[in-house]
Structure 1
Amino acid sequence: MKIIKWLLLAVCLSSSSVGAKQIAIVIDDIGYHQRDLEFLTLPGQLSYSILPHTPYSQIFATLASRANKELLLHVPMQALNGKALGPGGLTVNMDKEQLQQTLGTALASLPQVKGVNNHMGSALTQQSKAMKWTMEVLKKRKLFFLDSRTTDLSQAQNAANFVGVNNIGRHVFLDNITTHNQLQQRLDELKYKATKHHFAIAIAHPYPETIDFLRKALPELVKQGYELVPVSQLVERKYIQLAQAQGKAINAR
C-alpha cells in the first residue's frame, strides 16, 4: 500500500509540475503576538512555523489546523550573536539527553506539526553532533527538516541526510528589510529562482508590513503562473525526483 501511495503521489506531482513554478512561503516566528493570527487570513497554501511555549502557540495551531494550514515547529537554536532564545531553545552546551528532551517536549506541545525549522541557529547548526541528535528525534517522529540557512556553514542538512530525515533548504528571506522596495526585490528574486529551478522556498515573518505586502502580492503570483504550495510538497517532490534519478542511473548501467 505504501508503494502504491508513493507511485500515485509521483504521478500527481510530476503531472502537475510540468512547467510549473512552485513557491512555498513559510511564515516564521509565530506565537508571541495576537496579531500573528491575522496571517491565517492570507490567501493560498502558506506554511506557518510556530515558536514553542509561546502565548499564542496553541490557539494559532488550533485555528490553523481547522483551516487546513500546514504547521512547522520553529525551534530556537543558539546564534553566534548570543541573542536570547526564549523557551524551548537548544544550545551548544547541551548534552544529547538535554537537547533531545528539550526538543521532544516542544514537539509534544504541538502535535499538529509536519516538520521543523530552525529559529536563528547560526552557532548550533554548525555543530554536526548536535544536528545529528536533533535529526534522531525528527526521524522517530517522521518529520522533515527545513534548514533556515542562517549560516553558510550549517551542517543541518548533512546530518539529516546521514540520519535519514527528509530535508530541504530556504532560498530567500523575504522581509529582512521591510520597506516595500526591498520586499518587492526579494519577491522578484524568489520568482527568478522558482522560474529557473521550477520551485523556490521563502521565509517571512509576522510583521505588519509583510502581511500588507503579501495580501496584494500573493494573488498576483498566481496570476503570473506561480503555484503556491505547502513546503512539505516541495520536500516530497525533492525525494521523488531523487528516486527517479536513481532509477534512471540504475537502468543506464
Structure 2
Amino acid sequence: MRYLLFCFLLFSSNVFAARIAIIIDDIGYRQSDKAVLSLPSNVTLSVLPLTPLGKTVATQAYQQGSEILVHLPMQALNGKTIGPGALTNAMSEQDFKQQLEYAIDSVPFAIGANNHMGSLLTQLTEQMHWVMDTLLQRNIYFIDSVTTKFTQAGAIAEEMGVPLLKRTIFLDNDKSDDGLEFQFQQAITLTETQDSIVIIAHPYPETLAFLSNNLHRLAEANIALVPASKLLPFNVASQDKETKDPTVRLE
C-alpha cells in the first residue's frame, strides 16, 4: 500500500497543472521567418497561404515535429491590404470557398487554421458559415484570433461542430522587453484560474529571442507547453474586451 501511495505521489508531482499553446503566425514572407525553426517543436506555427517561403517553412517545421496551421487572410475594418488568398465580403460563395480551398492547399500539413486580421469578416455570419463549412469538410480545426470583440467566428464554429479554440493573449503587440514580459507573465498568472491558455505571437526577432530565453519558465511554473490541438476537447485527425485592451489586436 505504501509503495502504491509513493508511486501515485511521484506520478502526480510530474503532472502539469495547466497547459499553454503558443502560436507564431504571419509566417511566409521574410527570410527572417525561418528563425521560427529554432523554437521547440511544441510551438505551433501558422503559415500565410501562397507566400514565397510558406511551403518551405511548413514542410521543414513539420519534419521537425511542429504542428502547422494555415493563417487565413480575412478582410479588416481598417482596410489594410490582406495579401494572397484574401477572403472578403465582396466575394460570391463559390469564389470565397474556392479561394479558401486554394489557401488551405498552399500550406502543406496544416491541420488547423486561424484568422489573419479579419476584424470585419469575422463579424459576418454568412461568410463565417462558409469558412466553417469548408473547414469541417477538410477536418481542420479553427482558432479564433479574436481581432474584434464582435467576432462571430467562434460561435459559428461551435454551432457547426468545428473544433474550436480562442486566442487568450497577444504576446507582442508591444515588442519591448517590458511589453513582452508583461504579457508573458500575464499568461502565467492566468493559469491559476484557467487550465489552458492560447497565446498568439509573431516572428519578430524580439519575440523569438524572448521566447528562446524564457520558455523554460513555463515548466518551472508547472505549465506544459503543448501544440494547439492538444487543448481541444478531443483529438483532430491527421483538431469581451474593449479594443484598447492590450490583449486585443484590432486587424
TM beyond 0.5: yes
Point out 4+ residue stretches in structure 1 off by more than 2 angstroms. Answer: 15-19, 236-239
Contact map agreement 2:76 2:119 (CA 8 A) in 1: yes
Q: 1:153 aligns with which of 134, 150, 154?
A: 150
Amino acid corresponding to residue 201 of structure 1 in structure 2:
V
Distance 1:16 1:165, change over 3 A: farther
Q: TM-score, normalised by structure 2?
A: 0.86
Unaligned runs of 5+ in 2: 1-11, 237-251
- Percent of pairs with identical residues: 43
| Aligned residue in 1 for 2:171 | 174
Cα shift at 1:16 = 10
**d(CA) in 1 for partners of 2:136 and 2:14?**
28
Secondary structure in structure 2 of the residue aligned to 1:145? strand
**Greater helix proportion:** 1
Secondary structure in structure 1 of the residue aligned to 2:233? helix
Q: CA RMSD in A?
A: 1.8
| Aligned residue in 2 for 1:60 | 57
Amino acid corresponding to residue 236 of structure 1 in structure 2:
P
Q: Report matched runs for 1:72-83 at 5 Å.
A: 72-83=69-80
**d(CA) in 1 for partners of 2:92 and 2:164?**
24
Q: Report matched runs for 1:155-234 at 5 Å.
A: 155-234=152-231
Q: 1:26 aligns with which of 11, 19, 23?
A: 23
| Aligned residue in 2 for 1:102 | 99
Amino acid corresponding to residue 32 of structure 1 in structure 2:
Y
1:51 and 2:48 aligned: yes
Amino acid corresponding to residue 156 of structure 1 in structure 2:
A
Q: Deviations over 1:222-253 (max 9, x none)?
A: 222110000101013599xxxxxxxxxxxxxx
Q: Deviations over 1:127-167 (max 9, x none)?
A: 00000000000000111000000000000011111221111
| Aligned residue in 2 for 1:11 | none
Of residues 177-186 and 191-200 in structure 1, the stretch that sits farther from structure 2 once superposed is 191-200
Contact map agreement 1:43 1:218 (CA 8 A) in 2: no
| Aligned residue in 1 for 2:111 | 114
Unaligned runs of 5+ in 1: 1-14, 240-253
Contact map agreement 1:171 1:202 (CA 8 A) in 2: yes
Contact map agreement 1:44 1:228 (CA 8 A) in 2: no
**d(CA) in 2 for partners of 1:16 and 1:102?**
48
Contact map agreement 2:23 2:44 (CA 8 A) in 1: yes
**d(CA) in 1 for partners of 2:47 and 2:109?**
11
Distance 1:212 1:111, change over 3 A: closer
